[in-house]
Structure 1
Amino acid sequence: MAKAKYVLAVDQGTTGTHVSILDDKLRVVGDAYREFTQHFPKPSWVEHDLEEIWASVETCIRAALKDAGLTGKDLSAVGITNQRETTGLWLREGGKPLAPAIVWQDRRTSERCAQLREKGEEPRVRETTGLVLDPYFSGTKLAWMLEHVKGARKRAEKGDACFGTVDTWLVYKMTGGQSHVTDVTNASRTLLMDVRKLAWDDSMRELLGVPAACLPEIRGSVDAYGTTKGMRSLPDGIPLTGMAGDQQAALFGQACFSPGEAKCTYGTGAFLLMNTGDVPVKSRSGLLTTVAWKIGDKTTYALEGSSFIAGAAVQWLRDGLKVIKKSGDVEPLAASVKESGDVVFVPALAGLGAPHWRPEARGLFGGIDRSTTAAHLARAALEGVAMQIHDLAETMRRDSGREIPSFKVDGGASANNLMMQFQADMLGTEVVRPQNLQTTSLGAAFLAGLGAGVWTSTDAIRKAWKVGKVFKPKMKAEARERHLTKWRRAVERA
């Protein structure tokens, strides 16, 4: 009997790190998760400690191996998926971070983006990168670091400092500083890569004042990025062979391999992606054109809409407002009232993403009166997350010219049945939740397994993907329209 092969997937997210170990039948045999600290030094600023992120990865790898009853020597490959636009800068020699990482939610470069828009630069940026001028993306964050961190620009120009998103940081650390690379999916989120040529663009670098010497090498999503070296949790020599940003990995993990197939991941934020095939589709309505993955010589593109706040709204109810004690309490609390009534919540706690792109927008509770309870706030919060996704889905239908016959969902917040039913009601289409909600990790593992020869084609993931629950629309048309009207009015005021 052939010995089982195992792939380790690191899913480094915004609020925590998740490590899974899958066997060659795509069964999860080991699992671990750790939260880490969120830093908010000023209003609209969000930072992470790169060293703390790395420590969480090492801890989770050890815990996942213990959970699986395996050692590092049993692994065939490692795959990485990550929070995408979070921006780091560290010394090439020794790897010491020059500053805290600026998280994708951070809005400190809003003014810089506005200045570039006023100069008429956005059409050129959009044509080259597929993105819009928004502080969400890495480019202006890096430009801010080069301007404000002492000595950073000089070091970057000399090549002594390395820029990277979290994938680049993890590969650097896992390989003992030997590899400074990124993959096309993460590079496509920087405002610095030509989305068609899949290469750093000199005109975008010059626009933002970014030296070429600090940029990582761009690779495919299945590639030989290096091998482990000097880690506490893994032996030397294990190949790193798969990598993609978290949302692209989830699209892959949801088996959305054909043009028109779409998924929405409900994590800290919520992200809707549709496979558009081998041609980048330009949005007319503020959606993003992004690389879904590149395997060999074949590049697959996607349209994407981003909602910055999803599960983070529940965390805010828990940690900020103290409405609930733990995240799991939100659904029963929300279900204790039949409806949210006049209460509406716009989750613009980090501005509004597509299709609105209003970084200055702020969160809003409306329709509150003396009868409003914590349950109404909880229900309105869940509904507000779903309403943002409704707007994205409608925009994507128009821009792509395709209907979404069923809506695949994943991520931790998709376990909330009340919110998923409301989502189906608002979309007017079935919402399909798989048995395995951790499709981001599944996508990373499968990319790595393809790179290491554990699997030879995408057929295996199609066979492994199984429906968990289907939510069918139930709401009457007049009730749906009332919710939509209430939502649109609130968004105008946010």
Structure 2
Amino acid sequence: MILGIDDGTTAVKVALFDDNLKELASARRPVPTSNPAPGRVEQDAEAVLEAVVDAVAEVLPAAEGRPIDAVGLDHQGESVLAWDAETGTPRSPIIVWQDKRGSDAYNNVSPALLARTGLPPDPYFSAPKLSWLVRELGGAGARLGTVDAFLCDRLGAGSATDASTASRTALQSLAAPGAWDPELCAAFGIPRDALPAIAPTTGDLGVLRHPRWGDVALPLRARVCDQQAALAGAGCVRPGMTKATYGTGVFVLAHAGSAVPHADGLLPTIAWDSSGRVEYALDGGVFTAGALLEWLTGTLGLAADPIALDALAASVPDTAGVRVLPALAGAGAPYWRPDARALVAGLTAAATPAHIARAAFEAIAHRVADILDAAPAPVAVLRVDGGLTNSALLCQLQADLAQVPVERGTPDATVTGAAGLALVGAGLLPDTTALEPLAPTLDRFEPRIPPAEAASLRAAWRSFAAAALGL
């Protein structure tokens, strides 16, 4: 019995698996997000903890009294908070990865020093948010860290994270994984002793307990950043294998092997530290995807919900000239423009809600294609997962615009990957390469338009994007 816990941006999902990663039971709890001011995105840390505890409590009876052999926890990467070192009580909300505060902290960090991390000076990463927290709270008596460290601390495994998460903070050198860089911490004004310990991604990472789980002790055997969990869940465990997870944003990761990779506009990141071996990936994020569809439906009322918006988009053959730049939280890779704003353009009196809806889906596919175009080598197959991949329209648009076959797997590759890495951490699989045959492909989308047509559409998109980002 293997348990996966996925702390996502919009929801917590917990799933029980057998040792072939067949899902036996699952529970999901939505997690509210608030926007108290422009550029600010927050969550209640106690609400996230309660969602985890409640979802685990719902799933545990499905084990029918059999012991849980391993637990894998993944979390929302760059999001951070402060909590009391003695009581565990949150001293701040969770500052979500989309939040823009703290960007002025980069003023104190030289380009040469930041280059150790492989990251650009973008507020997306954890360090500027943590720096802001230190300035606001003073830091005395507080622990600082990512959401995994808070959850583990409150559930009995201690304040700790892993190298994949640390590589998203701008506080760890890629050349020295597993330790906080003292010069980076000093430059950002973050006390190292307030940060969590950095442990391997897999192995004996402690035990999780909660009174609502009775006397059940859950052996934590994997702890990892969410997108790296999805990389494992998609079976992308060999160099060159590439996945895209379509959720609140879209995050593309390509496995890069044991050497630090480099590509203009994309980020080198640590995939995992497992079995005594650090492996790397190239990362590119589209910060607004599902969030765009939620905004178009929930805020603008274009359709009842994203599912209805998908049907609306599929009802027309083109966008009638409408274009959308999906940048509600800035523009990520390969542009790295945190100041970018979302844009709807090309409107005429003939434009309908259906055309705007289709333009939104096309925009998401174009933004992913932007990232694939920046990859150092052509992508042979793109493995996709996440809730938005339930849209056949989006999967086909992605195959057409990127001119690459798209293999759709389980929508929940993230929680599956957390569980899969736990199998490795418990010694039930020899290493991460054994996860590849456990990742199913449900269907495959081949490009339906010729390369010349795709090239023309991509050139028109790049011209639009350049103009939109210049506003």
Please, what TM-score do these two structures have when normalized by structure 1?
0.91
Query: Which residue of the other structure, out of 366, 380, 383, is the alignment partner of 1:408?
Result: 383
Query: 1:223-245: per-residue Cα shift (whole Å, max 9, x none)?
Result: 22211233423535321111111
**2:336 match:** 357
1:391: how far off? Answer: 0.6
Identical aligned residues as a percent: 36
How many angstroms apart in 2 are the aligned matches of 1:345 and 1:233? 46
Q: Which amino acid aligns with 1:442?
A: T
Match of 2:367 among 388, 393, 403: 388
Q: 1:61 & 1:328 partners in 2: Cα distance?
A: 28
**Unaligned regions of 5+ residues in structure 1, if any?**
1-5
SS of 1:194's equivalent? coil
Question: Is 1:133 matched with 2:126?
Answer: no
| Matching of residue 260 in structure 1 with residue 260 in structure 2 | no
Does the 8 A contact of 1:132 with 1:286 survive in 2? no
2:222 to 242, 254, 257: 242
Q: Which residue among 202, 214, 224 is the counterpart of 1:222?
A: 202
Partner of 2:64: 70
2-structure distance, mates of 1:230, 1:246: 23
Distance change >3 Å, CA 123–CA 55, structure 1 → 2: same
Residue 281 of structure 1: aligned partner: 261
- Provide the rounded CA distance (Å) in 2 between the counterparts of 1:134 and 1:368: 32
The Cα of 1:181 is off from its aligned counterpart by 0.6
Q: Distance in 2 between matches of 1:20 and 1:249?
A: 14
Map residues 15-26 of structure 1 onto 2, 5 A cutoff.
15-26=10-21
Which stretch of structure 1 is more off in the superposition, 422-431 or 160-169? 160-169
Which residue type is aligned with residue 165 of structure 1? T
* Structure 2 counterpart of 1:223, one-letter code: G
Instruction: Report the more deviating stretch, 362-371 or 453-462.
Output: 453-462
Question: Which one of 406, 421, 429 corresponds to residue 431 of structure 1?
Answer: 406
Structure 1 residue 96 displacement after superposition: 0.7
Pairing partner for 1:106 from 92, 99, 102: 99
Amino acid at match of 2:123: P
Structure 1 match to 2:5 = 10
Instruction: Work out whether 1:95 is the aligned partner of 2:88.
Output: yes
Q: Deviations over 1:231-283 (max 9, x none)?
A: 42353532111111111111111111211111111111111111111000123
Cα pair distance change 1:356/1:134, threshold 3 Å: same
Say whether the 8 Å CA contact 2:275–2:431 is kept in structure 1: no
Inter-partner Cα distance in structure 2 for 1:110 and 1:304: 21
User: How much has 1:102 moved relative to structure 2?
Assistant: 0.6
1:330 to 297, 309, 313: 309
Cα distance per residue 1:183-226 (max 9 Å; x no partner): 11101111101112111101101110011110111011102221
Aligned pair count reads 467
Contact 1:24 1:455 in 2 (8 A): no
Quickly say closer, same or farther: Cα 1:98–1:488, change in 2 above 3 A. same
The answer to whether the aligner puts 1:449 opposite 2:443 as a matched pair is no
Q: Which residue of 2 aligns with 1:3?
A: none
TM-score, structure 2 as length reference: 0.95
Query: In the alignment, which residue of structure 2 is the partner of 1:46?
Result: 41
Structure 2's unaligned 5+ residue stretches are none
2:119 aligned with 1:145:
no
Instruction: Tell me if structure 2 keeps the 8 A contact 1:266–1:409.
Output: yes
- The answer on whether the counterparts of 2:12 and 2:52 sit within 8 Å (CA) in structure 1 is yes
CA separation of 1:111/1:459 partners in 2, compared to 1, >3 Å: closer, same or farther? closer
- Taking the aligned partners of 1:428 and 1:237, their CA distance within structure 2 comes to 48
Q: 1:65-214 maps to which residues of 2 (within 5 A)?
A: 65-66=60-61, 68=62, 70-71=64-65, 74-113=67-106, 115-116=107-108, 121-126=110-115, 128-149=116-137, 152-153=138-139, 155=140, 160-175=141-156, 178-198=157-177, 199-214=179-194
Instruction: Output the CA distance in 1 between the equivalents of 2:438 and 2:262.
Output: 32
Measured at CA, do residues 44 and 313 of structure 1 come closer, stay the same or move farther in structure 2, by a change above 3 Å? same
Q: Distance in 2 between matches of 1:236 and 1:271?
A: 35
Aligned partner (choices 473, 491, 494) of residue 447 of structure 2: 473
Q: Classify the secondary structure of the residue corresponding to 2:235.
A: coil
CA shift digits 1:313-334 (9 cap, x unpaired): 1111121111121221121110
SS at match of 1:350: coil
Aligned residue type for 1:104: W
Deviation sequence 1:137-175 (CA, Å, 0-9, x none): 0000000011123xx32x1xxxx3111211111111221
Match of 2:60, SS state, is: helix
SS in 2 for 1:244: strand
Please state how far the C-alpha of 1:371 moved relative to its aligned partner: 0.9
Q: Offset of 1:372 from its aligned partner?
A: 0.9
Q: CA deviation at 1:61?
A: 1.1
Call closer, same or farther: CA 1:428–1:218 in 2, change over 3 Å: same
SS at match of 1:75: coil
Separation in structure 2 between the aligned mates of residue 442 and residue 477 of structure 1, nearest angstrom: 35
Residue by residue over 1:334-373, the C-alpha shift from the partner in whole angstroms, topping out at 9 and shown as x without a partner, is 0111111210111010001111011110000010111111
Change (3 A) 1:481 1:462: closer
Are the counterparts in 1 of residues 144 and 194 from structure 2 also a CA contact under 8 Å?
A: yes
